[in-house]
Amino acid sequence: MSRTVSIIGSGFASLAAASYLAKDGYNVSVFEKNAELGGRARQFKKDGFTFDMGPSWYWMPDVFERFFADFDKKPSDYYNLNKLSPAYKVFFEDGKSITIEDTLEKIYAAFEKEEKGSSKKA
């Protein structure tokens, strides 16, 4: 008898659960309220530009590697990682901005410029 599971949402958590359940033989359906999959990590495309709706930093690459390995795959089967310089820039309503650079030392310097002592551990 086939076992059926319905998953609400298509963020990382839902897609990971769906993948493991499908691997275990469940018949899985994913229901997403938005037009695009991916939840907070989805993309928004307009006028030829692509915007990331959430993540800017690729945290804990080992978690992604472990996840893909559970399916005998690796991240590079699906995507390549390119380090960006700068990592990103945040624009505020008052016209000011802060650039988040590509090394910890440069990020410390940017935070120190904003607030003295802010790069030190408490």
Selected binder of ligand FAD within 9, 87, 106, 108 (CB under 6 A): 9
**Which of the ranges 25-33, 67-75, 76-84, 112-120 carries the binding residues for ligand FAD, by CB under 6 A?**
25-33
By the rule CB under 6 A, 32 interacts with ligand FAD: yes
Residue closer to ligand FAD by CB (options 12, 26) is 12
Report which of 54, 3, 51, 52 is spatially closest to residue 27, judged by C-alpha positions.
3
Site for ligand FAD in 47-76 (CB under 6 A): 54-57, 59
- Which residues, 6 or more positions from 107, have their beta carbon under 8 angstroms from its beta carbon? 100, 101, 119
By the rule CB under 6 A, 92 interacts with ligand FAD: no
Selected binder of ligand FAD within 5, 12, 101, 111 (CB under 6 A): 12
CA–CA separation, 9 vs 2, rounded Å? 22
Torsion angle of C-alpha atoms 61, 64, 70, 73, degrees rounded to 10: -90
Backbone angles phi, psi at 81, to 5 degrees: -100, 125
By the rule CB under 6 A, 11 interacts with ligand FAD: yes
Q: In a 3-state reduction of DSSP, which class is residue 35?
A: coil
CA–CA separation, 107 vs 110, rounded Å? 5
Selected binder of ligand FAD within 3, 8, 23, 89 (CB under 6 A): 8
Residues near ligand FAD (CB under 6 A): 8-14, 31-34, 39-41, 54-57, 59
